[in-house]
Chains A and B, each alone.
Chain A
Amino acid sequence: MSTGFHIVVCAGIVPDPLQTLEPVSGPQGWALKNEMMLPACLDPWASHALFEAANLAKNVSDSKVWLVTLGPKAKVQQVMMTMAQKVPFELVALDGAANGFTDAAETAAALANAIEGIAGLDKSRLLLFGGWESASRGAGATLQIVGERLGITEQFQGVDQITIKDNGAMEILERVEGGSHQVSECSSAPAVLGWATGNLPEPPNNSQIGMQNMRLIMPALQKAPATKIGTADIAYKGIELPKQQRNTRIVKDVPVEEIAREIVDWLRG
């Protein structure tokens, strides 16, 4: 009997963090201005989850990683050109909106359905990975709801580390106040792990991994079902970008303490 994990990583795409975003309201509800023109990347929290999943799969034999994503197909394809070079995975794609104005419950329902439909997935070995937060919305609810819809009761959020013990149990470190971790032991899958940043660096690009992944990614994108995740029936009372003030100054050889003091003074001001 196999003991490996079936790791499903739920990962949305978000605009490249350096872009300027502008919410606009249209007939289809709220969206981002020029959304399809904005370069995108995999949600940074979910990216960490993917790197951790790949690392776990590498260390636990007979494990496998799926990446489940919901986003505009053309943008997902672009993101995959970069992500496919990082770690091995099999893509499950849903073609729909990913602009941050979608409803978490609707998104979770679509993702859960897609996961249920993965051929060969053994839910008794399932580890559901994702980000505990998202760069497109701060609710952090989607992953929990996906887990609930899949009937997974063991849920961990703000995870920084997972260690597989000799008896097969999982030791999981979750972030708590003051930079400390809560250490839990989970005897077996299935479980939901919403990742914080983890401990792994971003893997270097690897052409061999890219070539392996792309053989399955392109067919997955071609058959990605259209998935309606609308905002038409959601009324937002107000939408505004976080206020920002720019005050750029280039300094060299200024002690860190002095820079910190200046920033604190500026914030107080």
Chain B
Amino acid sequence: MTTTDQQPEAARQEMQVDIICTGFGPATGGFLTTLSRAMTKEDGTPAFESKVMPGMLPQVICYERADDIGFGVSGVVTKAKSIRESFPDFDPAAIPMTHEVTEEKVVYLLDPVGASRRSWLVKVADNAIKLFKWILPYRHQAMELPWMPPFLQKHKGIITSIGQFNQWVGNQLMMSGAVQIWPGTPVAKPLIEDNKVTGVQLADQGTDKQGNPEAGYTPGMDIKAALTVVGDGPVGVVGRDLDLHFGLPEGNHIRDWAVGMKMVVDLPAGCELKPGTVIHTLGYPEPEIFGFMYVYPDGVASLGIFVPSWFDNPMRSTYRYMQHWIQHPYLWRHLEGGTLRSWGAKSLQESGRRGEPFLVGDGYARIGEGSGTTNVLTNSGVDEAWESGVQLADAVIELLEKDKPFTKENLDETYVKRRRASWLDSESRIAQHARDGFQKGFITGMFTTALVGMTKGKLFIPFKAKRPHDRIPTPEEYYKGRISAEEIDQIRKECRSKGLTLHDRLMEKAGWPEIKNDGQLLMSHQDILLMGGKVQATGNYADHVTFVDPRSCAQCQTLICTEICSGQAIAPNPEGLGVVFDREKCVYCGACIWSCSEANKDNPEYSNVSFRAGAGGLHSAEN
């Protein structure tokens, strides 16, 4: 008798509401803030009536997977023009870890350890900087760029923590009483009937890791609604399922990604950095890896790196690279003696407008990062996501006022039309080819970004984006000339037999210095999960990361999913081939989805990793 047989099949309940939102981030924040203000008239009477509960306000419910609405991850620098329009009296001081931008720098970091893999062109640039360092703004093995391109500037903008910002927005929304936000409630999938989205199904509770019912089995409820607002981000299950079902518009793709990993740090006493300082870095630890540091009030800073999908390194451990990055002399002079407060990681959809899905359909609308709002030229996403939510709310209000249904036609006429006529769309059109050059390397990428930025998108070089799994080399190919294939094979065998990843051994073999843990900023990957990420997984849910075809994993030579895994949740299987997943360590960054080197056999636009919704993850509101 199987476990399933032992448990009586519990009935799946159904609930009717008016509007469902999936995922609580800036886009949903913008949507709910705008909508909730229009729900009641000035005299306090309802402006609209619920279709499912006559006599009451429309029932608007937002489901958030994480255990708290503030457990998002992102250090943010943004012009905040849409956010300020929503909050005309916006005062950064009202939100912890928020400040106006006071100073911006772009810094090119040279390689102080000699292990970075730099092309000959980058080496030429490095040598030129060293040769003329007496007349250049060169110090601490870095060069501060004397000029910052206008498209990168966030003058008069703000820096903030997305966790704190989401808490601030969420608290105001909840106090309005007009909408409800439910954290700790993962959505399993959208409900689609005859190509119409009719709602969502919540994740089953009381199951084993494979999803089989156990004691306390509660089937996830079917929540039906006239409109499902999809704002669950780039790795959200509802958005990804809709992409799979409806496909993407002709010519669009979601092939460019990055994982951002960050730390929040108590700066050491005497640190000279002023609140509002924004530092962008490039050049180190590898030319393809970009970094950031935002200085908050009270001696706190948010800092981290982005590892992109076009960084063709099968050993791309974000955590290891971040440890080297923070120790660069230009940064370490500010950080040494500081203490970790928080840590986290998140995937970013870097295709921007070219990753835009069908924005609307019968019964649904897409907003935020998963709808392609991120501007890949200005490196800005939060304000854009917020604006898309505001635009959809304005459209929904218009349709409610006219008592029109949420059909594709009506949503096209209201939401999509607004979006196409707005700065959000025009700026994203300028930006859409900005990252194309990075398909061919760092120098080409910088050139094409500058070209697009300086000509406002009129000139560009349209390099075709490869699928991530089409560009991952083997460790033998990547380290050719530095580590022999025999040595790599030996290291692979030793590590795999112990369930360990390869990157530490291979990076140190290639010249990267060993990390000397200090217990304050430099610590083991496991310790940063506990001390910085405070990672926790609730039981009773099925594993949300699964491997579609285990045979592909068994023959995979890179196991890149284990190397990039931000939480060491995916590890080589020490008892055989392939990998094992430990959901108690997963931080839901989603890097495994797009880093996998094996194509999905049914749809080569996807990989062999399936990423579903589940509860738990980071337990820090400071990220």
Contacts and interface: CB of A to CB of B under 8 A. Distances in A.
B175 A78 contact: no
With most chain A CB atoms within 10 A of its CB, the pick from B180, B184, B619, B620 is B180
B71 A39 contact: yes
Interface string A22-34: 0000000000001
Given A37-B96, A39-B621, A246-B527, A74 B185 contact: no
Contact of B67 (A82, A206, A222): A82
B223 interface: yes
A235 B489 CA distance: 65
A36 B174 contact: no
B4 interface: no
A1 interface: no
B621 A37 contact: yes
Instruction: Report the interface size class on chain A.
Output: 20 to 34
A204 B67 contact: no
Nearest to B217: A204
A205 B171 contact: no
A218 B174 contact: yes
B619 A207 contact: no
Contact of A218 (B61, B177, B531): B177
Nearest to B61: A207
Contacts of A135: none
Contacts of A19: 534, 619-620
A24 to B, nearest CB: 12
A74 B96 CA distance: 14
Interface stretch (A165-173, A187-195, A208-216): A208-216
Given A19-B534, A77-B175, A205 B70 contact: no
A74 B218 CA distance: 31
Contacts of B159: none
B69 interface: yes
B57 to A, nearest CB: 11
Interface in B579-618: none
B183 interface: yes
B266 to A, nearest CB: 10
The listed residue with most B CB atoms (<10 A of its CB), out of A77, A206, A207, is A207
A255 interface: no
B127 interface: no
B315 interface: no
A81 B69 contact: yes
A207 B15 contact: yes
B526 A248 contact: yes
Contact of B15 (A82, A85, A208, A214): A208
Contacts of A18: 534, 536, 619-620
A214 B59 CA distance: 12
Given A77-B175, A248-B524, A85 B182 contact: yes
Interface string B132-161: 000000000000000000000000000000
Interface string A50-63: 00000000000000
Interface string B163-190: 0100100110011010011111100000
Interface in B545-577: 574
Nearest to B540: A204
A219 B536 CA distance: 32
29 contacts: A18-B620, A19-B619, A37-B621, A37-B622, A74-B171, A77-B174, A78-B68, A78-B69, A78-B70, A78-B170, A81-B174, A82-B67, A82-B183, A85-B184, A201-B216, A204-B205, A204-B216, A207-B61, A207-B182, A207-B202, A208-B13, A211-B15, A211-B61, A211-B180, A214-B180, A222-B175, A248-B524, A248-B526, A248-B527
